[in-house]
């Protein structure tokens, strides 16, 4: 019998698997943009024993929010342009793979007389 996976529901009503959500948060908190304050917080908790784990948990979102809050429309446009470029490149590779697997070769050359 399959067990149901735990999910969270976003503000938009999308369901997100908890394991995927937690993995995303851990990768985000490991990013260079927030790694230093995260490591300082963990050092204060683990080594110095100054903070209760609930304080650490309550502080982590603000570290991500600070970075997101610093992003401007220009930053989001630049990221969108990069993602769009990567998607177009991937779409081109898929199209080329489909052409290659169907035995069709399109060289772009016109031959004949």
- For the chain, domain boundaries: 1-70, 72-101
Q: Are 8 and 15 in contact (CB under 8 A)?
A: yes
Q: Are 60 and 38 in contact (CB under 8 A)?
A: yes
Task: Give, to the nearest 10 degrees, the angle between helix 32-46 and helix 18-30.
Answer: 100
Query: Which two structure tokens, joined as six digits, stand for 91?
Result: 């779409």
CA proximity to 65, closest of 11, 97, 29: 29
The pLDDT value recorded for residue 72 is: 98
36-92: per-residue pLDDT in tens?
999 999 999 888 889 889 999 999 999 999 999 999 999 999 999 999 999 999 988
Q: Distance between terminal CA atoms of the chain?
A: 68
91-111: per-residue pLDDT in tens?
887 777 888 766 555 444 444
The C-alpha atoms of residue 53 and residue 75 are separated, in whole angstroms, by 33
CA proximity to 39, closest of 49, 25, 29: 29
The C-alpha atoms of residue 103 and residue 106 are separated, in whole angstroms, by 10
């Amino acid at each position: 019998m399959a067990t149901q996976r735990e999910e969270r529901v976003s503000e938009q009503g999308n369901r997100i698997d908890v394991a995927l959500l937690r993995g995303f948060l851990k990768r985000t908190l490991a990013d260079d943009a927030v790694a230093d304050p995260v490591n300082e917080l963990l050092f204060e908790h683990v080594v110095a024993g100054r903070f209760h784990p609930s304080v650490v948990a309550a502080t982590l979102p603000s570290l991500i929010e600070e970075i997101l809050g610093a992003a401007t429309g220009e930053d989001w446009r630049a990221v969108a342009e990069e993602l769009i470029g990567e998607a177009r490149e991937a779409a081109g590779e898929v199209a080329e793979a489909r052409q290659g697997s169907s035995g069709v070769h399109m060289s772009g050359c016109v031959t004949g007389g």
